[in-house]
Chains A and B, each alone.
Chain A
């Protein structure tokens, strides 16, 4: 099989993993070695699905002994199979990197023979890149559940980021859809990585020279809409993951129906749901919201028509309108449509002189949503009066179905908010 054929199969097999971030590592360049890691992350290309290519995202092989219901590579599927050699992965990574196609490698694998053997092969690639090639670019490696912790540790000493996929939002779904993976096999390495990271950070505080361990932190991913959990269940689980395992990011991947299976839904969940989950995730991670402020047992699912911040504000009109010239930063960022950057601009401009409504527009802020939740120098400028029902009607989205899939898509602003957190 040619390298081209292998690449086509093993990139296709890896593409449903959503994370492609190359950010938050601090690997500095060394003269004479290839590579560096940019803290902000760099995108090298964008595919027609609107996703960024930052890393060479591939599987080492897709000969899986497991049979997870939702996965293309499951043992019972009749699909083309391929396996890279260690040298092939190293060669592709180095040569793509030298041409500035990528920030580095995102290496994952199907489970071949057994988890430990699989992980061994992956560690060989990392070792070769770091020790033989002196490759100093970004490496994200998956920890294979069930592999020996020693090996996972070793991988961590070479990688910038590690991830173990939580796969599904509950143990019940995991049993149903990924019967070969146990909850413990997933949580154990996760916990181990998180402990090592914490320990390494402490060591590096006293001993600056001690080597990095997963400097860009740990992430995980769960599939949305292949099983019946509510958005509340999902956000609660993420909150716990951020909390217990000091996760850098939790990724949500809307299920794409590839397999026929009695336990799987036939239709894909709307992409809108994935977007709304990301928006909520930002609100919880960055804006100081609690999961229970966004959802509760009475409304356990996110609204597809309105972003989660707007929904929250409409349910808490007693806190609005907010005076733009007085509200502290942490209140400003709770105003629908005013993101972190917008709030920073307001705080900085009002130091010079009080702002009126027009000033917001002059700063390039969008007032489409914010107008109903603010006053400027005591005056309210909304096009309808400040009542939840009227505002709700004024903000009702114009429905547009995507010409490609027929599914409803959110506006591009909503899609961007899900990605950059300006919500």
Chain B
């Protein structure tokens, strides 16, 4: 099998799509860090070129639709099995039948695209609620998250608008990078787990954390325990960083 390997950036994916688009051989697309070498694979290393990426983006926006472009981005952020290859196949399908092919919800490829995109947008929505800030110093806040998908870019707008008067950082421990807002332009920066822990050493406890835990317990109607429902809405894998959560 021919394997197109790219650097893991979205522009990289678009470049890989550009390079592989007319390749008729059986192929697959992977990010370097996710790829496990197989015996008969033939590797093609993709060099990210902004110009190629831009041409792919322009063409999608001109000939297909903004929604199509956005779906490619969500597929990219999903980091789910075969998401990069799915993006390529979906795009080919759109060029063949038009962007309205997305209406065909019974088509297995469309169904997969829809499912993957929904997982990403659902998780992003959930984390607008599940992010927990701890106050490191007056008006400086820190939060750590470990989402399934790479949703930090999707959280940026919401958190910056809402907390425009406080400095904050949301740290994705899984992907070891953070969204930083210091009252000016927000940006992303690499940040290791150790660096994150180091930030927290200045802080022992936040009194409001305990107060919120008290509220959580007091507001529960114990006669109506329904743990299944609780875990349906707030899956247990997220609880690690949601301090008040317990069943």
Q: Which residues of A contact B (CB under 8 A)?
A: 3-4, 7-9, 11-12, 14-16, 29-36, 38, 40, 42-54, 56-58, 92, 95-96, 98-101, 256, 268, 271, 345, 348-349, 351-353, 355, 359-360, 362-364, 402, 404-405, 409, 412, 415-416
Contacts and interface: CB of A to CB of B under 8 A. Distances in A.
Contact of B135 (A30, A50, A99): A99
B226 A409 contact: yes
B21 to A, nearest CB: 24
12 contacts: A8-B214, A15-B218, A15-B220, A29-B161, A34-B163, A36-B162, A49-B222, A50-B230, A345-B105, A352-B104, A355-B106, A415-B226
Nearest to A136: B162
B232 A98 contact: no
Interface string B128-143: 1111111100000101
Secondary structure class of chain A's binding surface, majority of residues:
loop
B186 to A, nearest CB: 12
A405 B164 contact: no
Contacts of A268: 223
Interface residues of B, number: 60
Contact of A38 (B100, B158, B215, B233): B158
B245 interface: yes
A14 B218 CA distance: 9
Interface string B182-218: 0000000000000000000000001011111011111
Contact of B244 (A12, A45, A56, A409): A45
A352 B101 contact: yes
Given A45-B129, A349-B105, A8 B229 contact: no
* Most chain A CB inside 10 Å of its own CB: which residue of B108, B164, B246: B164
A421 to B, nearest CB: 15
Nearest to B232: A412
Given A4-B214, A99-B209, 4 more contacts: A15-B218, A35-B162, A100-B143, A404-B226
Among B130, B134, B162, B228: residue with most chain A CB under 10 A: B162
| SS class, residues of chain B in contact with chain A | helix
B42 interface: no
A99 B224 contact: no
Nearest to B217: A8
Given A7-B214, A12-B219, A48-B230, A32 B158 contact: no
A388 B56 CA distance: 56
A351 B97 CA distance: 13
Given A29-B161, A45-B234, A348 B103 contact: yes
B163 A50 contact: no
A405 B221 CA distance: 12
A100 B226 contact: no
Contact of B106 (A48, A99, A363): A363
B219 A15 contact: yes
